[in-house]
Chain A
């Protein structure tokens, strides 16, 4: 009876990582309609940053994680302010192309700097686990769930109650009106990229945890988070969380229970199947709203 619970927990932990990746996507998309194709690469940078800070510079792990979050958040904001801001007034498509460019640069730079081999993360929990009633819970997954919960709670409080959270929501709803009432929209965009960077650092760090490692293929996880954001609705942060966790659970459960005739890697396909089924019923995602245009 313990196997399904075990898989459910694994799926939930994986889903938490997807939720963080998806949150990074939706925060940027909601404010500026830009799909950030570099989100996966930012994840990769996050994992390497933690690894370098923790194992290279021998910082205490907690400090390394905090520093990585701060650096990647600053990097995200700096990229928005120095590169994307110059594209102001261009079609959104141009900005999307720039993010693809950024992802190519990062994906090529990481192996060039660190080589193609896996690095160790330097996390204190490694492969250790605790057993609860016959269910093995890896510490890395427990921390994944706890940290994701904390970050999501912080994000939603920030979004709901803070001055800049309100400014983000206003910018998302009507950029021109936001400018007119004195919202510094440029700063709001930079902030969304900082948030995308910060959550990417945490997502990357846990993605690289046991049984994986810090390696150049980590960024592909963003592709697997894609059904999550479509499922939840592109512009909805709560949708990102629900979508991410659903996809994580679907993927792990199908890897455990899919019948053999479906093939060995059906678990990679299953999230897309779920996505398509949901979109058939709700074309704008679970939390998405059909766009209403005044004509």
Chain B
């Protein structure tokens, strides 16, 4: 049994007196496709933001390949092997598709400011190599034909695939996907779902997916963690989770009996902080 890729222990995040989540402990194994789901306000996005180092947790630890992830700066995550996508897209509007992917390889490039400025042979060869790798990532995502289009002109579904291609081009060990199918049409959902599945099957990657869309998660995830009110209520395979009483109550809710009365609907619910 190899050590897990990601170890989360007793992770707690509070904003003042509001608790986003507390005492979360779970492992993500190497090569796993792991999903975090939960109703609105369960703390999914907050957890994602802690893992991507946007928020500093109140307590607890996150270890990535045995090293303390919380000591890394945001811009150092890429170099450590962690790539992320954004729920509302983190693309650079003025750049072309290819450039948007190429920038993800910044941390892999070696020639310094001076050498790249002076345009020496080494820098040029390196540049060509990275362009080829960026093109390969675009081809994997099936969007190579948009390589030279300005990113702002492309539809949302394509832009999302560009983001995933960029994360892939970063050559990460762990990819964090923040609600990849949020706000998409049915057809776009299918495409992204197929792309994520292909990423997991064909690339040497560990994927952590935060997602609201139950259908997508149940089809592709190997293990699912269900959050509710900032606490873990179940971890297991999609089949196990789907059978879990508490999950059915918390998430699939409505048509089943809403359960014990201590669940006052919105009172304890944390307003998920979004950017």
Q: How far does the Cβ of A288 sit from chain B's closest Cβ, in whole Å?
A: 12
A164–B84 CB distance below 8 A: no
User: Which A150-186 residues sit within 8 Å CB-CB of chain B?
Assistant: 154, 157-158, 161-167, 169-170, 172-174, 176-186
Closest to B130 in A: A163
- With a cutoff of 8 Å between Cβ atoms, the chain B residues found around residue A294 in the complex are 88
Q: Please classify the interface of chain A as helix (H, G, I), strand (E, B), loop, or mixed, using the class held by over half of its residues.
A: helix
Check: B55 CB closer than 8 A to any chain A CB.
no
A182–B77 CB distance below 8 A: yes
- Over the window 40-84 of chain B, the binary record of Cβ atoms lying under 8 Å from chain A Cβ atoms (1 yes, 0 no) is 000000000000100000000000000000000011111100011
- Over the window 255-266 of chain B, the binary record of Cβ atoms lying under 8 Å from chain A Cβ atoms (1 yes, 0 no) is 000000000000
Stretch at the interface among B2-10, B90-98, B214-222, B243-251: B90-98
A180 to B77, CA, bound (A): 7
Closest to A185 in B: B75
Check: A225 CB closer than 8 A to any chain B CB.
no
A172 to B103, CA, bound (A): 13
B117–A164 CB distance below 8 A: yes
A191 to B116, CA, bound (A): 13
With A163-B109, A172-B94 given, is the CB distance from A183 to B119 under 8 Å?
A: no
User: Which B97-126 residues sit within 8 Å CB-CB of chain A?
Assistant: 99, 102-104, 106-107, 109, 111, 113, 116-117, 119, 123
With A162-B116, A170-B103 given, is the CB distance from A182 to B79 under 8 Å?
A: yes
- With a cutoff of 8 Å between Cβ atoms, the chain A residues found around residue B275 in the complex are 176
- With a cutoff of 8 Å between Cβ atoms, the chain B residues found around residue A161 in the complex are 119, 127
Q: How far does the Cβ of B173 sit from chain A's closest Cβ, in whole Å?
A: 14
- With a cutoff of 8 Å between Cβ atoms, the chain B residues found around residue A158 in the complex are 116-117
With A162-B116, A167-B103 given, is the CB distance from A181 to B94 under 8 Å?
A: no
A126 to B156, CA, bound (A): 59
Q: How far does the Cβ of A40 sit from chain B's closest Cβ, in whole Å?
A: 25
B111–A179 CB distance below 8 A: no
Closest to B151 in A: A173
Out of B119, B123, B166, which one reaches A181, CB within 8 Å?
B166
Out of A162, A164, A182, A186, which one reaches B104, CB within 8 Å?
A182
A163–B119 CB distance below 8 A: no
A162 to B76, CA, bound (A): 21
User: Which A270-295 residues sit within 8 Å CB-CB of chain B?
Assistant: 294
A182–B95 CB distance below 8 A: no
- Over the window 184-223 of chain B, the binary record of Cβ atoms lying under 8 Å from chain A Cβ atoms (1 yes, 0 no) is 0000000000000000000000000000000000000000
Q: How far does the Cβ of B22 sit from chain A's closest Cβ, in whole Å?
A: 26
- With a cutoff of 8 Å between Cβ atoms, the chain B residues found around residue A169 in the complex are 92, 94-95, 99
With A179-B74, A182-B77 given, is the CB distance from A164 to B113 under 8 Å?
A: yes
A184 to B112, CA, bound (A): 12
- With a cutoff of 8 Å between Cβ atoms, the chain A residues found around residue B90 in the complex are 174, 176-177, 180-181
- With a cutoff of 8 Å between Cβ atoms, the chain A residues found around residue B113 in the complex are 162, 164, 191
- With a cutoff of 8 Å between Cβ atoms, the chain B residues found around residue A176 in the complex are 90, 275
Q: How far does the Cβ of B43 sit from chain A's closest Cβ, in whole Å?
A: 20
With A157-B119, A163-B111, A169-B94 given, is the CB distance from A181 to B106 under 8 Å?
A: yes
Q: How far does the Cβ of A115 sit from chain B's closest Cβ, in whole Å?
A: 37
Out of A167, A177, A179, A186, which one reaches B91, CB within 8 Å?
A177
A174–B92 CB distance below 8 A: yes
A144 to B75, CA, bound (A): 40
Closest to B176 in A: A180
- With a cutoff of 8 Å between Cβ atoms, the chain B residues found around residue A165 in the complex are 116
- With a cutoff of 8 Å between Cβ atoms, the chain B residues found around residue A177 in the complex are 86, 90-92
A166–B103 CB distance below 8 A: yes
A169 to B104, CA, bound (A): 13
A166–B106 CB distance below 8 A: yes
A162 to B93, CA, bound (A): 18
- Over the window 134-162 of chain B, the binary record of Cβ atoms lying under 8 Å from chain A Cβ atoms (1 yes, 0 no) is 00000000000000000000000000000
Q: How far does the Cβ of B258 sit from chain A's closest Cβ, in whole Å?
A: 35
- With a cutoff of 8 Å between Cβ atoms, the chain A residues found around residue B88 in the complex are 294
- With a cutoff of 8 Å between Cβ atoms, the chain A residues found around residue B36 in the complex are none
With A180-B86, A181-B103 given, is the CB distance from A162 to B92 under 8 Å?
A: no
Check: B170 CB closer than 8 A to any chain A CB.
yes
Closest to B107 in A: A182
Q: How far does the Cβ of B103 sit from chain A's closest Cβ, in whole Å?
A: 5
Closest to A190 in B: B113
B78–A182 CB distance below 8 A: yes
Closest to A154 in B: B117
Q: How far does the Cβ of A169 sit from chain B's closest Cβ, in whole Å?
A: 6
A162–B123 CB distance below 8 A: yes
A294 to B77, CA, bound (A): 27
A162–B119 CB distance below 8 A: yes
- With a cutoff of 8 Å between Cβ atoms, the chain A residues found around residue B117 in the complex are 154, 158, 162, 164
Closest to A183 in B: B106
- With a cutoff of 8 Å between Cβ atoms, the chain A residues found around residue B77 in the complex are 180, 182
Give me 7 A-to-B residue pairs in the complex whose CB atoms sit less than 8 angstroms apart, sorted by A's number. A162-B116, A163-B116, A170-B95, A174-B90, A177-B90, A179-B75, A182-B78
- Chain B contacts to A: CB under 8 angstroms: 52, 74-79, 83-84, 86, 88, 90-95, 99, 102-104, 106-107, 109, 111, 113, 116-117, 119, 123, 127, 166, 170, 275
